[in-house]
Amino acid sequence: MYSAPALQLPMLDADAPRLLCVEVYERKPLSYLTETAAGLLTQLAADTVFVPSTTRTREQYHRIHLPGPAPEFAICANGGHLLVDGVSDPGWQRQVAARLADECASLAEVRDHLLAAADPAWLLKERIAEGLFAYLVVERGLLPEGWVKELAEWAGGRGWTVSLQGRKIYAVPQPLTKSAAVREIARRTDAEQILAAGDSLLDADLLLAADRAWRPGHGELADSGWIAPNVEVLDETGVVAGEEILRRFSLAATPPPA
């Protein structure tokens, strides 16, 4: 699923794939799949336990209207909320809260540092997501060289991870992971294998936890050259990569003929 600036269509307009809008915000179309991807996703959801996994808050996730039946499970807030039929599992929330209290610095400490270190010349806004992590929206072209790296080093010593995605700089507790939530869903569903895809540093733990995973040719992981033995690197970028990932998922999830 991609916003208009992130589509990265490599072909001429006449050859570009048809798009399906799957998110509207403030009465404006915001995010898209190709129509081919929509068909692949509908079939995949019928054949597997399809689990949307995102750093979005629950409110942001519920703006999305993917094709096919609503997923039974979804992961929001980078693993902070495990949704079951659209509702956050309270037992999972308690487990997450206990890990955060025991294993990393507080959100208040990290937020205070973010605001003290940021420059109003390039800081557009700051937000707290679900009371779990913080992020800044910035004018990326004005960011001082090395600022994000320095922030990551400071945060890493306090059990937090920093991720730069587009105009957003995320500061997320290291115990708050998509992989932990995915393992819990796999346990509940007796899953035989986990397939995953992602393009940001906050997806790396999820890709490593999967039996097979795919990394597109765009995004934070591609920019850093990140690889792992169980992760296939794709050349495709943008919305075309999303379509190709769904093809790979479908092939991997289809049992071989008897």
Q: What is the pLDDT of residues 34-61, one digit of tens each?
A: 999 999 999 999 999 999 999 999 999 9
Q: What angle do CA 59, 63, 69 make, to 5 degrees?
A: 115
User: Residue 138, SS3?
Assistant: strand
Radius of gyration of the chain (CA): 18
pLDDT of residue 17: 85
- Asked if 196 and 213 touch (Cβ cutoff 8 Å), the reply is yes
Confidence (pTM)? 0.92
Pairing of strands 195-197, 212-215: parallel
User: Residue 143, SS3?
Assistant: coil
Tokens 């991997």 map to which residue? 252
**HSE-CB for 164 with a 13 A CA cutoff:** 16
pLDDT digit string, tens, across residues 228-256:
999 999 999 999 999 999 999 999 987 66
User: Residue 153, SS3?
Assistant: helix
Tokens 């296939």 map to which residue? 232
Host H or E run for residue 215: strand 212-215
Host H or E run for residue 101: helix 90-103
In single-letter form, the type of residue at position 197 comes to A
In single-letter form, the type of residue at position 87 comes to V
Tokens 């799957």 map to which residue? 22
> How does pLDDT run along the chain (258 residues), one tens digit per residue?
888 888 887 655 667 788 999 999 999 999 999 999 999 999 999 999 999 999 999 999 999 999 988 999 999 999 999 999 999 999 999 999 999 999 999 999 999 999 999 999 999 999 999 999 999 999 999 999 999 999 999 999 999 999 999 899 999 999 999 999 999 999 999 999 999 999 999 999 999 999 999 999 999 999 999 999 999 999 999 999 999 999 999 999 876 665
Indicate if the alpha-carbon torsion angle 147, 152, 157, 159 is positive or negative: positive
Which residues, including other chains, have CB under 8 Å from residue 26's CB and lie 6 or more apart? none
User: Residue 222, SS3?
Assistant: helix
Structure-token pair, residue 215:
């990394």
Rounded Cα distance, 136 and 144, in Å: 15
Phi and psi angles of residue 121, each rounded to the nearest 5 degrees, phi first: -65, -30
User: Residue 158, SS3?
Assistant: coil
Rounded Cα distance, 97 and 130, in Å: 12
Which DSSP state fits 69? S
User: Residue 234, SS3?
Assistant: coil
